[in-house]
Protein backbone atom coordinates (compact mmCIF):
# COMPACT_ATOMS: atom_id res chain seq x y z
CA UNK A 1 0.00 0.00 0.00
CA UNK A 2 1.41 3.36 -1.00
CA UNK A 3 1.14 5.85 1.84
CA UNK A 4 1.30 8.76 -0.57
CA UNK A 5 -1.53 7.37 -2.67
CA UNK A 6 -3.70 5.27 -0.37
CA UNK A 7 -5.04 1.97 -1.61
CA UNK A 8 -8.08 0.51 0.15
CA UNK A 9 -6.86 -3.05 -0.56
CA UNK A 10 -5.11 -3.69 2.73
CA UNK A 11 -7.88 -2.10 4.77
CA UNK A 12 -10.70 -3.78 2.85
CA UNK A 13 -8.91 -7.06 3.31
CA UNK A 14 -9.35 -6.75 7.05
CA UNK A 15 -5.70 -5.96 7.72
CA UNK A 16 -6.05 -2.58 9.37
CA UNK A 17 -3.27 -3.35 11.84
CA UNK A 18 -0.91 -4.07 8.94
CA UNK A 19 -1.85 -0.75 7.32
CA UNK A 20 -1.06 1.11 10.55
CA UNK A 21 2.23 -0.78 10.86
CA UNK A 22 3.19 0.35 7.36
CA UNK A 23 2.26 3.88 8.32
CA UNK A 24 4.69 3.86 11.24
CA UNK A 25 7.49 2.33 9.15
CA UNK A 26 7.17 4.83 6.32
CA UNK A 27 9.84 7.51 6.10
CA UNK A 28 7.57 9.82 4.12
CA UNK A 29 4.69 11.93 5.27
CA UNK A 30 1.47 10.30 4.07
CA UNK A 31 -1.22 12.21 2.25
CA UNK A 32 -4.16 13.52 4.28
CA UNK A 33 -6.39 11.05 2.45
CA UNK A 34 -4.34 8.19 3.91
CA UNK A 35 -4.88 9.43 7.44
CA UNK A 36 -8.56 9.99 6.66
CA UNK A 37 -8.97 6.46 5.30
CA UNK A 38 -7.29 4.81 8.26
CA UNK A 39 -9.06 6.92 10.86
CA UNK A 40 -12.41 6.21 9.25
CA UNK A 41 -11.73 2.49 9.47
CA UNK A 42 -10.89 2.88 13.16
CA UNK A 43 -14.16 4.78 13.64
CA UNK A 44 -16.10 2.04 11.84
CA UNK A 45 -14.51 -0.67 13.97
CA UNK A 46 -14.26 1.36 17.19
CA UNK A 47 -10.62 0.29 17.33
CA UNK A 48 -9.18 2.50 20.09
CA UNK A 49 -5.66 1.07 20.00
CA UNK A 50 -5.01 1.52 16.29
CA UNK A 51 -6.73 4.91 16.14
CA UNK A 52 -4.50 6.18 18.94
CA UNK A 53 -1.44 4.83 17.14
CA UNK A 54 -2.40 6.82 14.05
CA UNK A 55 -2.84 9.96 16.12
CA UNK A 56 0.50 9.30 17.87
CA UNK A 57 2.18 9.13 14.47
CA UNK A 58 0.76 12.54 13.61
CA UNK A 59 2.02 14.05 16.86
CA UNK A 60 5.48 12.47 16.70
CA UNK A 61 6.10 13.67 13.15
CA UNK A 62 4.75 17.17 13.76
CA UNK A 63 1.92 16.64 11.28
CA UNK A 64 -0.34 19.70 11.16
CA UNK A 65 -3.95 18.53 10.95
CA UNK A 66 -6.22 20.38 8.63
CA UNK A 67 -9.89 20.83 9.46
CA UNK A 68 -10.82 17.59 7.72
CA UNK A 69 -8.41 15.35 9.64
CA UNK A 70 -9.07 17.17 12.92
CA UNK A 71 -12.77 16.50 12.45
CA UNK A 72 -12.04 12.82 11.81
CA UNK A 73 -10.26 12.73 15.17
CA UNK A 74 -13.24 14.48 16.78
CA UNK A 75 -15.47 11.72 15.45
CA UNK A 76 -13.05 8.97 16.52
CA UNK A 77 -12.46 9.87 20.16
CA UNK A 78 -16.13 10.16 21.21
CA UNK A 79 -16.75 6.84 19.45
CA UNK A 80 -14.32 5.15 21.83
CA UNK A 81 -15.64 7.04 24.85
CA UNK A 82 -12.79 9.55 25.31
CA UNK A 83 -14.69 12.82 25.30
CA UNK A 84 -12.01 14.71 27.25
CA UNK A 85 -9.49 14.12 24.45
CA UNK A 86 -12.08 15.15 21.87
CA UNK A 87 -12.86 18.31 23.80
CA UNK A 88 -9.14 19.19 24.03
CA UNK A 89 -8.73 18.71 20.27
CA UNK A 90 -11.82 20.78 19.60
CA UNK A 91 -10.60 23.68 21.73
CA UNK A 92 -7.28 23.64 19.87
CA UNK A 93 -8.88 24.00 16.44
CA UNK A 94 -8.33 27.47 14.95
CA UNK A 95 -11.57 27.16 12.95
CA UNK A 96 -14.53 25.10 14.03
CA UNK A 97 -16.89 24.21 11.22
CA UNK A 98 -20.39 22.86 11.64
CA UNK A 99 -19.16 19.29 11.13
CA UNK A 100 -16.69 19.66 14.03
CA UNK A 101 -19.42 21.08 16.28
CA UNK A 102 -21.80 18.28 15.29
CA UNK A 103 -19.14 15.61 15.90
CA UNK A 104 -18.51 16.78 19.46
CA UNK A 105 -22.19 17.38 20.26
CA UNK A 106 -23.02 13.90 18.97
CA UNK A 107 -20.19 12.46 21.04
CA UNK A 108 -21.55 14.13 24.17
CA UNK A 109 -25.01 12.68 23.61
CA UNK A 110 -23.61 9.18 23.06
CA UNK A 111 -21.60 9.60 26.25
CA UNK A 112 -24.79 10.52 28.17
CA UNK A 113 -23.57 14.08 28.69
CA UNK A 114 -26.83 15.56 27.43
CA UNK A 115 -26.52 18.77 29.44
CA UNK A 116 -23.10 19.43 27.94
CA UNK A 117 -24.42 18.70 24.45
CA UNK A 118 -27.27 21.17 24.92
CA UNK A 119 -24.84 23.79 26.24
CA UNK A 120 -22.62 23.34 23.18
CA UNK A 121 -25.59 23.45 20.83
CA UNK A 122 -26.50 26.81 22.30
CA UNK A 123 -22.97 28.20 21.93
CA UNK A 124 -21.82 30.76 19.45
CA UNK A 125 -18.76 30.35 17.22
CA UNK A 126 -16.47 31.51 19.99
CA UNK A 127 -17.62 28.76 22.30
CA UNK A 128 -19.52 30.96 24.74
CA UNK A 129 -23.09 29.99 25.65
CA UNK A 130 -25.58 31.81 23.51
CA UNK A 131 -28.24 33.97 25.10
CA UNK A 132 -31.62 32.31 25.39
CA UNK A 133 -32.69 28.67 25.23
CA UNK A 134 -31.39 26.24 22.64
CA UNK A 135 -34.73 26.07 20.90
CA UNK A 136 -35.76 29.70 20.76
CA UNK A 137 -37.70 29.24 17.53
CA UNK A 138 -40.55 26.82 16.94
CA UNK A 139 -39.02 24.70 14.18
CA UNK A 140 -36.03 24.10 11.96
CA UNK A 141 -37.35 25.45 8.70
CA UNK A 142 -37.90 22.82 6.04
CA UNK A 143 -36.16 20.01 7.95
CA UNK A 144 -38.82 17.38 8.59
CA UNK A 145 -36.53 15.02 10.49
CA UNK A 146 -35.27 17.78 12.80
CA UNK A 147 -38.85 18.88 13.45
CA UNK A 148 -39.81 15.26 14.22
CA UNK A 149 -36.99 15.06 16.75
CA UNK A 150 -38.08 18.38 18.26
CA UNK A 151 -41.67 17.19 18.69
CA UNK A 152 -40.42 13.95 20.27
CA UNK A 153 -38.15 15.88 22.64
CA UNK A 154 -41.03 18.00 23.92
CA UNK A 155 -43.19 14.93 24.47
CA UNK A 156 -40.41 13.16 26.37
CA UNK A 157 -40.18 16.25 28.57
CA UNK A 158 -43.96 16.03 29.20
CA UNK A 159 -44.55 19.23 27.23
CA UNK A 160 -47.39 18.04 25.02
CA UNK A 161 -48.60 21.59 24.39
CA UNK A 162 -45.15 22.68 23.17
CA UNK A 163 -44.98 19.57 21.01
CA UNK A 164 -48.28 20.38 19.35
CA UNK A 165 -47.23 24.00 18.88
CA UNK A 166 -43.96 22.96 17.25
CA UNK A 167 -45.82 20.52 15.03
CA UNK A 168 -48.41 23.10 14.00
CA UNK A 169 -45.70 25.64 13.15
CA UNK A 170 -43.69 23.24 10.98
CA UNK A 171 -43.60 24.70 7.44
CA UNK A 172 -43.37 21.26 5.84
CA UNK A 173 -45.41 18.26 6.92
CA UNK A 174 -45.30 14.74 5.53
CA UNK A 175 -46.19 11.27 6.72
CA UNK A 176 -42.91 11.06 8.67
CA UNK A 177 -43.72 14.11 10.77
CA UNK A 178 -47.34 13.07 11.25
CA UNK A 179 -46.26 9.60 12.35
CA UNK A 180 -43.70 11.07 14.75
CA UNK A 181 -46.27 13.23 16.51
CA UNK A 182 -48.82 10.38 16.64
CA UNK A 183 -46.23 7.95 17.98
CA UNK A 184 -44.93 10.44 20.52
CA UNK A 185 -48.38 11.14 21.95
CA UNK A 186 -49.17 7.44 22.14
CA UNK A 187 -45.90 6.50 23.84
CA UNK A 188 -46.21 9.23 26.42
CA UNK A 189 -49.75 8.50 27.53
CA UNK A 190 -51.72 10.92 25.34
CA UNK A 191 -53.59 8.13 23.57
CA UNK A 192 -56.79 9.96 22.64
CA UNK A 193 -54.71 12.82 21.25
CA UNK A 194 -52.76 10.31 19.14
CA UNK A 195 -55.96 8.91 17.64
CA UNK A 196 -57.31 12.40 17.03
CA UNK A 197 -54.11 13.35 15.23
CA UNK A 198 -54.47 10.30 13.00
CA UNK A 199 -57.95 11.43 12.04
CA UNK A 200 -56.66 14.92 11.24
CA UNK A 201 -53.80 13.44 9.22
CA UNK A 202 -56.17 11.53 6.95
CA UNK A 203 -58.50 14.52 6.63
CA UNK A 204 -55.52 16.59 5.47
CA UNK A 205 -54.89 14.08 2.71
CA UNK A 206 -51.84 12.27 4.09
CA UNK A 207 -51.97 8.51 3.61
CA UNK A 208 -50.65 6.51 6.57
CA UNK A 209 -47.93 3.91 6.10
CA UNK A 210 -46.90 0.75 7.95
CA UNK A 211 -45.08 2.74 10.62
CA UNK A 212 -48.09 4.96 11.23
CA UNK A 213 -50.24 1.93 11.96
CA UNK A 214 -47.63 0.49 14.29
CA UNK A 215 -47.76 3.77 16.22
CA UNK A 216 -51.57 3.62 16.31
CA UNK A 217 -51.71 0.00 17.47
CA UNK A 218 -49.09 0.67 20.12
CA UNK A 219 -51.08 3.66 21.38
CA UNK A 220 -54.25 1.59 21.58
CA UNK A 221 -52.38 -1.16 23.44
CA UNK A 222 -51.04 1.29 26.02
CA UNK A 223 -54.44 2.89 26.45
CA UNK A 224 -56.40 -0.36 26.62
CA UNK A 225 -58.46 0.69 23.59
CA UNK A 226 -58.85 -2.77 22.11
CA UNK A 227 -61.96 -2.15 19.99
CA UNK A 228 -60.40 0.92 18.40
CA UNK A 229 -57.16 -0.94 17.81
CA UNK A 230 -58.92 -3.84 16.10
CA UNK A 231 -60.79 -1.41 13.86
CA UNK A 232 -57.54 0.27 12.83
CA UNK A 233 -55.96 -3.12 12.18
CA UNK A 234 -58.89 -4.20 10.00
CA UNK A 235 -58.81 -0.92 8.09
CA UNK A 236 -55.25 -1.41 6.86
CA UNK A 237 -56.14 -3.54 3.80
CA UNK A 238 -59.74 -2.40 3.35
CA UNK A 239 -59.27 1.38 3.57
CA UNK A 240 -55.58 1.97 2.83
CA UNK A 241 -54.43 -0.98 0.72
CA UNK A 242 -51.78 -1.98 3.27
CA UNK A 243 -51.03 -5.61 4.07
CA UNK A 244 -50.41 -6.12 7.79
CA UNK A 245 -46.94 -7.42 8.56
CA UNK A 246 -45.66 -9.58 11.40
CA UNK A 247 -45.02 -6.44 13.48
CA UNK A 248 -48.67 -5.42 13.21
CA UNK A 249 -49.88 -8.85 14.25
CA UNK A 250 -47.47 -8.76 17.19
CA UNK A 251 -48.87 -5.38 18.23
CA UNK A 252 -52.43 -6.75 18.13
CA UNK A 253 -51.40 -9.81 20.15
CA UNK A 254 -49.84 -7.52 22.73
CA UNK A 255 -52.93 -5.32 22.79
CA UNK A 256 -55.25 -8.29 23.41
CA UNK A 257 -52.98 -9.90 25.98
CA UNK A 258 -52.78 -6.71 28.00
CA UNK A 259 -56.50 -6.80 28.70
CA UNK A 260 -56.60 -10.53 29.41
CA UNK A 261 -58.08 -11.67 26.09
CA UNK A 262 -55.58 -14.49 25.82
CA UNK A 263 -57.80 -16.75 23.73
CA UNK A 264 -58.18 -14.03 21.10
CA UNK A 265 -54.47 -13.26 21.33
CA UNK A 266 -53.58 -16.90 20.65
pLDDT digits (tens, 9 = 90+) for 117-138: 555 554 544 444 433 544 444 4
Are both 95 and 208 inside the same structural domain? no
What pLDDT is attached to residue 12? 53
What pLDDT is attached to residue 144? 62
Domain-embedded: residue 160? yes
First-to-last CA distance in the chain? Answer: 60
Are both 117 and 151 inside the same structural domain? no
The 8 Å CB, 24+ separation contacts for 230-235 are none
Are both 96 and 198 inside the same structural domain? no
> To 10 degrees, what angle do helices 210-223 and 246-258 make?
10
Q: How many CA atoms lie within 13 A of 216 on its CB side?
A: 26
Q: How many CA atoms lie within 13 A of 15 on its CB side?
A: 11
Write out the residue range of the structural domain in which residue 150 sits: 144-265
Are both 80 and 184 inside the same structural domain? no
Helix/strand/coil for 82: coil
φ/ψ bin of 66: left (φ > 0), alpha (ψ from -120 to 50), beta (otherwise): beta
Among 71, 87, 121, where does a domain finish?
121
Q: What is the spatial distance between Cα 157 and Cα 135, in angstroms, rounded to a whole number?
A: 14
Give the max Cα distance, the chain: 74
| Residue 211 neighbours by CB under 8 Å, 6+ apart | 179, 183
Helix/strand/coil for 124: coil
Domain-embedded: residue 1? no
Q: Cα dist. 15→24, 42, 132, 215 in Å?
A: 15, 12, 49, 44
What pLDDT is attached to residue 2? 46
Domain-embedded: residue 159? yes
Are both 110 and 157 inside the same structural domain? no
Residues 175-198: tens digit of each pLDDT: 888 888 898 888 777 899 899 999
- Nearest-Å Rg of the Cα atoms of the chain is 25
Domain-embedded: residue 139? no
Q: How many CA atoms lie within 13 A of 4 on its CB side?
A: 3
CATH number at residue 196: 1.25.40.10
Domain count, the chain: 2
CB 218 within 8 A of CB 183: yes
What pLDDT is attached to residue 142? 47
Are both 192 and 84 inside the same structural domain? no
Domain-embedded: residue 40? yes
Q: What is the spatial distance between Cα 159 and Cα 113, in angstroms, rounded to a whole number?
A: 22
Domain-embedded: residue 2? no
What pLDDT is attached to residue 240? 93
Enter the pTM of the model: 0.49
Residues of the chain with pLDDT under 50: 1-7, 9, 13, 122, 124-131, 133-142
Are both 236 and 155 inside the same structural domain? yes
Amino acid sequence: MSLLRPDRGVVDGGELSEAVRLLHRSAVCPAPSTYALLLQECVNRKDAKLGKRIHARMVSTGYRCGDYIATKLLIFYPKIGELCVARSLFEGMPRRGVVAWNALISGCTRGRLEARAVEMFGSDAGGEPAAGPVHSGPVVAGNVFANSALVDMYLKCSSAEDARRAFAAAPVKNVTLWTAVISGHGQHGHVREALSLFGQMTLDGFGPNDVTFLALLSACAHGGLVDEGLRYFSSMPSDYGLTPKAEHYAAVVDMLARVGRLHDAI
